[in-house]
Every structure is written in structure tokens, then in C-alpha cells.
């Protein structure tokens, strides 16, 4: 809560005994001022559309959700907030964002629009992550249950008359994540330790959950931070693909530049299977179907790399892989 310290008023700060107490108390403050009419929806702003989706699933017709980052063709790391973003925040009673420097514009905007009582939920704080950690927290299967519980507690505090509905929605949501956990466990059983690489660290936590051995992290950080990868790191990445030392290239289709496109092409030429992932939830998907679709794509890519013959064994022994 460090960054948000400046926007919390004294009363809220005093009540910040624990995360859940703080969420409940702040929300009560917010809504006791302006008692929620029976049919009024709770205005919510989510910095990223996957958090917005989760709030919508938990709040149903009791919430009015605005998501700021929702364009899967735009690199979220390069996003800059507009006056429209600031206006949406002014009226929000509940704000959810990622933190860990993924969306540094959120803390700035919140600090700039003081004077309104609102509850803020930061995924990074719930998961113990900070600036410098991999910020793509929503790809960690452990994150969304924590966010969902915090969001649900805030909704109940804001609108206690509908507690039973929120409780039921939360139970249903947590239950709906089980197929994702089952898929991760299944892939872990089959592919733990298999070497893969990626153009950007977006899928990193999910890859870790599956137990894959992720290579070329420095290259990935350079893509994420929009800085130049070193010649050594580029050469290592190219060698991994050319010599098939990795079984899959995970390609972030939302953080592309000439270099990452070159790596995609090299993977295709070297017959290293590729899978495309996005940072932002695509239209027509829920958080759950999005994650499952990508795990399916990973499973297909890993299976086809196995069929290609001996790539993993070659990588494991350090031997040179087949050249196509």
C-alpha cells in the first residue's frame, strides 16, 4: 500500500489494520456517505480488463465496470493515461489494478483525484509482489483467487443487502478456476523441466506453474521494457531456436518489434513450435476461457515439438539438434 499511502485519508489509514479489515472499512466509509440506493450499481474501474471481467463475474448486475486496458492490439507497457482515464476514476467506488509497476499511471491518477472515498485493490499487494518482479501476475494461477476474495469482500461491505448473491458468485468463480488448475497439473506431469523460451515474460508465471524451464529471461525483460537486448542475449536466443534447444517459442503478440518478429520467423524456419499469447483479455473470452485456450495452445505446441523428434533429448544432452 506504500504508493497509495498519499491518497488514503487519516481515517482510512487508521483502519488499515489488515487487508481485509481495510477493504471492508474503507468501503463502508465510501457508501455510508452516499447510501447506495436499492437499484444503484456500484461503479468500478479496473485498470486491466481481466480484473474488470472478474469483478463483473463477482458483482453481476450490481456493478458497473469500466476497464481501461482492453485493446489486445496495444502494448500495455507503453500505455499512457488520458483525461478520459482520469474521468472514469473520479466516479469509481471500487478500483482494481495490477501494481508491480505494470500500470504506474494508476497510482498517479488516484493520487491526483483526492477527496472521494473509494476502495482500492492492488493485485501485487495481495500476492506480495513489487516493482522489479515479473508484473504479469494474472498468469499466476494463485493470483485470481486472492483478487476475487478481496473484490468480493469489498462488494459485500459496499452492499451488504446482497451478501448472499456475492457469496454465491464468489463460490461459483472459485469453482470455475478448477479446470485451469487441473490443466496446469496435467501439463506439469507431462512436461516439467522441458526447456522453452519466450519473446517477453508475459506467460512466465504460468510457465513456472507448469514447471517448464524458461530460457533467455534477459532478452524478455528488454522486450518488456522496450530497451535493446544485448548482442550476446540475441545470439543466445537465436542459437536456442536454430539448434532446437527449446521446444516451444512463446510469442507475445502484444509486445512486438522487429527483433521479436525476427525470432518468430527464425522459430518457424527452425521448426520450433510457437504459441501466441496476449497481455490483455481478448474480446469474447472470459478470464477462465482465455487461460484454458492458451493452456490448450501450449499443450498442442509441446506435443508437436515432441513429435518433431528428439529436440528435447538433444537439448538436454547439449547435442546439436536436427537441422531442417
User: Which C-beta is closer to Zn ion: that of 279 or that of 281?
Assistant: 279
Could you give the strand order of the β-sheet that contains 274-277, starting from the edge strand earlier in sequence? 213-215, 195-198, 249-252, 274-277
Q: Under rule CB under 5 A, which residues in 217-236 are in contact with Zn ion?
A: 224
User: Which C-beta is closer to Zn ion: that of 124 or that of 202?
Assistant: 202
- Write the interaction track for Zn ion spanning residues 266-285; mark x where CB under 5 A is met and - where it is not: -------------x------
User: Which C-beta is closer to Zn ion: that of 136 or that of 183?
Assistant: 136
How many residues of this chain interact with Zn ion, rule: CB under 5 A?
3
Q: What is the dihedral of CA 138, 144, 150, 154, to 10 degrees?
A: 80
User: Which C-beta is closer to Zn ion: that of 224 or that of 241?
Assistant: 224
User: Which C-beta is closer to Zn ion: that of 76 or that of 273?
Assistant: 76
State the minimum distance, in angstroms, from the CB of residue 252 to Zn ion.
6
* Helix orientation angle between 49-59 and 143-158, rounded to the nearest 10 degrees: 50
- Among all residues, whose Cβ is closest to Zn ion? 202
Buried-state track 76-97, b at ≥16 Cβ within 10 A, e below 16: bbebebeeebeebbeebbbbbb
State the minimum distance, in angstroms, from the CB of residue 203 to Zn ion.
9
Is 154 one of the binding residues for Zn ion (CB under 5 A)?
A: no
State the minimum distance, in angstroms, from the CB of residue 255 to Zn ion.
5
CA distance readout (Å), 186 to 142, 182, 247, 256, 273: 17, 6, 18, 30, 20
Buried-state track 57-67, b at ≥16 Cβ within 10 A, e below 16: bbbeebbbbbb
State the minimum distance, in angstroms, from the CB of residue 79 to Zn ion.
11
Query: What are the percentages of helix, strand and coil residues in the chain, rounded to 5?
Result: 55, 10, 30
When binding is defined by CB under 5 A, the residue of 202, 206, 246, 249 that contacts Zn ion is 202
Q: Under rule CB under 5 A, which residues in 24-43 are in contact with Zn ion?
A: none
For residue 85, give the 3-state DSSP assignment.
Answer: helix
User: Which C-beta is closer to Zn ion: that of 56 or that of 197?
Assistant: 197
- Return phi, psi of residue 118, to 5°: -150, 155
What is the binding site for Zn ion (CB under 5 A)?
Answer: 202, 224, 279
Amino acid at each position: 500500500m506504500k504508493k497509495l499511502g498519499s491518497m488514503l485519508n487519516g481515517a482510512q489509514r487508521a483502519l488499515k489494520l489488515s487487508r481485509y479489515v481495510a477493504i471492508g472499512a474503507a468501503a463502508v466509509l465510501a457508501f455510508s456517505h452516499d447510501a447506495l440506493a436499492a437499484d444503484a450499481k456500484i461503479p468500478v474501474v479496473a485498470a486491466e480488463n481481466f480484473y474488470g471481467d472478474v469483478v463483473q463475474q463477482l458483482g453481476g448486475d450490481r456493478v458497473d465496470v469500466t476497464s481501461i486496458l482492453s485493446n489486445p492490439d496495444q502494448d500495455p507497457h507503453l500505455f499512457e493515461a488520458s483525461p478520459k482515464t482520469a474521468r472514469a476514476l473520479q466516479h469509481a467506488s471500487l478500483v482494481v489494478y495490477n501494481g508491480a509497476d505494470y500500470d504506474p499511471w494508476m497510482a498517479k491518477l488516484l493520487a491526483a483525484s483526492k477527496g472521494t472515498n473509494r476502495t482500492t485493490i492492488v493485485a501485487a499487494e495481495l500476492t506480495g509482489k513489487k516493482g522489479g518482479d515479473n508484473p504479469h501476475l494474472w498468469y499466476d494461477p494463485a493470483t485470481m483467487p486472492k483478487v476475487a476474495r478481496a473484490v468480493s469482500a469489498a462488494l459485500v461491505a459496499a452492499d451488504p443487502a446482497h451478501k448472499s448473491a456475492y457469496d454465491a458468485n464468489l463460490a461459483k468463480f472459485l469453482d470455475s478456476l478448477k479446470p485451469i488448475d487441473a490443466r496446469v497439473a496435467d501439463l506439469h506431469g507431462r512436461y516439467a523441466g522441458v526447456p522453452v523460451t519466450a519473446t517477453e515474460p508475459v506467460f512466465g508465471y504460468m510457465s513456472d506453474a507448469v514447471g517448464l524451464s524458461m530460457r533467455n529471461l534477459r532478452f524478455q525483460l528488454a522486450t518488456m521494457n522496450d530497451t535493446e537486448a544485448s548482442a550476446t542475449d540475441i545470439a543466445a536466443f537465436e542459437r536456442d531456436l536454430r539448434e532446437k534447444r527449446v521446444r516451444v517459442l512463446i510469442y507475445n503478440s502484444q509486445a512486438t518489434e522487429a527483433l521479436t518478429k525476427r525470432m518468430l520467423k527464425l522459430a518457424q524456419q527452425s521448426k520450433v513450435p510457437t504459441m501466441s499469447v496476449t497481455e490483455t483479455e481478448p474480446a469474447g473470452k472470459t478470464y477462465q476461457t482465455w487461460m484454458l485456450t492458451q493452456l490448450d495452445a501450449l499443450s498442442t505446441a509441446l506435443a508437436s515439438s515432441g513429435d518433431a523428434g528428439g529436440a528435447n533429448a538433444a537439448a538436454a544432452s547439449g547435442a546439436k539438434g536436427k537441422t531442417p
